């Protein structure tokens, strides 16, 4: 029994938590407590977590320390049978016993754990047979109990069927003078009573009566007009002598009547019955008036578990916690199902394979990190460097393109290579220059020229409006001019402007030329897109962008035209420009718009 020390026996039947622990082969401590209805219903755990917390709380409260536990399995959670089989070894029995339950199991046999206990029967042995009690427990039930106890810090050592707990309990009792006999173990629970019959210490049959201690508790609650939970407390403490009340006594009689019916039926159904003793256990055995009534009305020896073991235990709590104590005796004898049996179909863990798998996983993880992270970062760095290099090249190319655009724009202003044939066919720069010479020859000075498309705007200065009118008429007669108009004319005082004549006429011409989109043809076929040229009559010279003419010959031509228009003679030679004196007159500033006739593409070349 010493090997059973330190194991905690646990029973939760009837909604009561009973705990027992052995030391030195004796029950060192045995306690019980009511379990809240939201945690356990009769013998079914509703919440594993709440139950584990409740169990740890009660162990701490009663200063119970243990690492292993033995649990009692209610008979309603398993299937149990008494069998006779041909004599064979234990291995053969384990193989054949499952087939004895084929007609009794609601599910597949592979979902159950089967176990058995042999009985010592010399008569059966002589016949070549073996008597045994076998039982089948669902695998999930064992696993659930083990998981629940682990939450409380305990490990399930064995799970023992309720019937085998009773057999172990009776095996420890005094057999009396007449040796083996029939015994009725009456378990008075909260909702029902269970009558189990044993002969010679072996289980025979059982009978359930659907009347329990709750009948008494409800009667007291109705009489005292209190809640059933409070009425149960009154019953345990005998508050106001409620155990001896008339209502409670009536409930005692109803319960005793049901028990007497069951006992009489057993005696009459089995003529070999030698039933003489009735052992009371469960919460109902704590109510003394009920026990006394049974002793009066039942014609057999009636006593409680406490009285059965009065020499070794005088604590009334043993009437409720007896099952948890007897479960420890079963464990000591190797009776019950071990938790590892519920995981027999699960392959054992091969730690070598697991270790190799972990190493392989680490290597794979490292390789994955290298491939997935390090190499990616390396590729990213290379890509970023390549991107920076390409960006530099793009920036350099864009700068070159910008320079090319600026160069193209600059080139556009200084050459006509980019001009189309249509642009070159509009107006000849040479003809415009000749037109400017003609205007100056009419006795006016040219301040500026502006050529836009086929419209030439000329700002001129003359001595009278009549001069301006004559100039307009003269321009209209030219072939290159389609029409012209005097857009503005304004007189100014002589102090504001002083002009000097060219070839006998006071004239000072400063000509600026801007073509816009129109092309200019130079004499040598080149184009000056800036379109600016100037005339300096006072110096006797003329300069123009895009063409170079002999200044002396141009000066002589201007002098001849001036003489023909004004009838005045000028002195000088072909190589010398004479500047005569001019009288002071009013000055008229005017602006003339000349609409030039378009010319064909063949004449687009310069002279």
pLDDT digits (tens, 9 = 90+) for 43-65: 889 999 999 999 999 999 999 98
Q: Mean pLDDT over residues 433-455, rounded?
A: 83
pLDDT in tens, 21-41: 877 667 778 899 999 989 998
Residue 425 confidence (pLDDT): 61
Strand ranges in 375-475 using DSSP code E only, listed in sequence order: 445-452, 455-462
Residue range 132-160, pLDDT digits in tens: 999 999 999 999 999 999 999 999 999 99
- Of 268, 289, 308, the residue at which a domain comes to its end is 308
Q: d(Cα 12, Cα 10) in Å, to the nearest integer?
A: 7
DSSP string, 316-353: TTHHHHHHHHHHHHHHHTT-SB-GGGGGTTSPPP-HHH
The answer to whether position 68 is within a domain reads no
Residues 6+ apart with CB under 8 A from 395: none
From the list 593, 573, 582, 549, the residue with the least C-alpha distance to 443 is 582
Number of domains in the chain: 2
Domain boundary pick from 308, 335, 354: 308
Within-domain flag for 558: yes
Phi then psi dihedrals of residue 113, to 5 deg:
-105, 130
Residue that finishes a domain, picked among 308, 332, 364: 308
Are 442 and 590 found together in one domain?
yes
As a whole number, mean pLDDT of residues 277-301 equals 92
pLDDT at position 490 over 90: no
240 is in which domain, residue-wise?
Answer: 173-308
Residue 556 has pLDDT above 50, yes or no: no
289 & 426 share domain: no
Q: For residue 553, what pLDDT band results from cuts at 50, 70 and 90?
A: very low
Q: Is residue 569 assigned to a domain?
A: yes
Mean pLDDT for the stretch of residues 173-193: 77
H runs (alpha helix) in 445-516: 465-476
- Residue 123 inside a domain? The answer is no
355 within a domain of the structure (yes/no): no
What's 268's domain CATH number?
Answer: 3.30.420.40
Terminal-to-terminal C-alpha distance of the chain? 138
pLDDT at 590 over 80: yes
Contact in structure between 487 and 493 (CB atoms under 8 Å): no
């Amino acid at each position: 029994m010493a090997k059973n020390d330190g194991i905690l026996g646990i029973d939760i039947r009837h909604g009561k938590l009973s705990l027992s622990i052995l030391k030195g082969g004796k029950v060192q401590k045995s306690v019980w407590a009511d379990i809240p209805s939201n945690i356990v219903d009769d013998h079914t755990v509703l919440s594993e977590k709440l139950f584990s917390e409740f169990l740890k709380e009660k162990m701490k409260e009663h200063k119970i320390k243990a690492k292993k536990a033995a649990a009692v399995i209610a008979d309603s959670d398993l299937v149990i049978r008494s069998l006779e089989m041909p004599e064979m070894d234990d291995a053969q029995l384990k193989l054949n016993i499952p087939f004895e339950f084929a007609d009794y199991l609601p599910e597949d046999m592979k979902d159950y754990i089967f176990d058995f206990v042999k009985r010592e029967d010399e008569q059966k042995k002589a016949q070549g047979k073996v008597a045994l009690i076998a039982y089948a427990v669902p695998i999930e039930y064992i696993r659930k109990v083990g998981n629940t106890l682990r939450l409380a810090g305990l490990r399930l050592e064995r799970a023992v069927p309720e019937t085998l707990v009773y057999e172990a309990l009776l095996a420890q009792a005094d057999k009396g003078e007449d040796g083996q006999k029939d015994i009725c173990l009456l378990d008075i629970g909260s909702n029902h009573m269970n009558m189990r019959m044993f002969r010679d210490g072996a289980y025979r049959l059982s009978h359930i009566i659907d009347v329990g201690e709750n009948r008494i508790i409800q009667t007291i609650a109705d009489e005292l007009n209190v809640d059933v939970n409070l009425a149960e407390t009154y019953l345990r403490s005998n508050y106001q002598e409620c155990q001896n009340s008339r209502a409670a006594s009536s409930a005692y009689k109803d319960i005793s009547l049901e028990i007497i019916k069951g006992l009489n039926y057993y005696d009459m159904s089995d003529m070999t019955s030698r039933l003489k003793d009735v052992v009371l256990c469960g919460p109902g055995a704590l109510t003394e008036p009920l026990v006394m009534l049974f002793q009066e009305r039942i014609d057999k020896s009636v006593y409680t578990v406490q009285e059965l073991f009065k020499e070794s235990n005088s604590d009334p709590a043993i009437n409720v916690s007896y099952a948890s104590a007897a479960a420890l005796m079963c464990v000591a004898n190797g009776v019950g199902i071990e938790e590892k049996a519920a995981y027999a179909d699960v392959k054992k863990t091969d730690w070598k394979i697991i270790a190799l798998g972990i190493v392989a996983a680490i290597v794979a993880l490292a390789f994955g990190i290298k491939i997935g992270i390090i190499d990616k970062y390396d590729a990213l760095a290379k890509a970023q460097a390549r991107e920076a290099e390409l960006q530099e090249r793009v920036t350099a190319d864009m700068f070159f393109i910008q320079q090319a655009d600026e160069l193209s724009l600059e080139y556009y202003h200084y050459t006509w290579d980019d001009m189309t044939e249509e642009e070159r066919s509009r107006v000849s720069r040479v003809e415009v220059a000749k037109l400017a010479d003609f205007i100056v020859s009419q006795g006016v000075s040219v301040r500026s020229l502006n050529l836009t498309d086929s419209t030439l705007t000329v700002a001129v200065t003359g001595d009278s409006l009549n001069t301006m009118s004559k100039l307009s008429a003269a321009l209209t007669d030219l072939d290159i001019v389609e029409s012209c108009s005097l857009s503005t004319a304004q007189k100014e005082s002589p102090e504001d402007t002083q002009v000097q004549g060219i070839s006998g006429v006071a004239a000072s011409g400063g000509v600026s030329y801007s073509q816009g989109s129109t092309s200019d043809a130079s004499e040598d076929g080149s184009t000056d897109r800036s379109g600016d040229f100037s005339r300096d009559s006072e110096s006797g010279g003329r300069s123009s962008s895009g063409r170079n003419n002999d200044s002396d010959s141009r000066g002589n031509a201007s002098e001849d035209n001036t003489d023909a228009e004004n009838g005045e003679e000028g002195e000088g030679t072909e190589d010398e420009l004479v500047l005569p004196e001019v009288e002071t007159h009013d000055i008229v500033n005017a602006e003339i718009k000349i609409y030039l006739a378009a010319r064909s593409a063949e004449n687009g070349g310069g002279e």
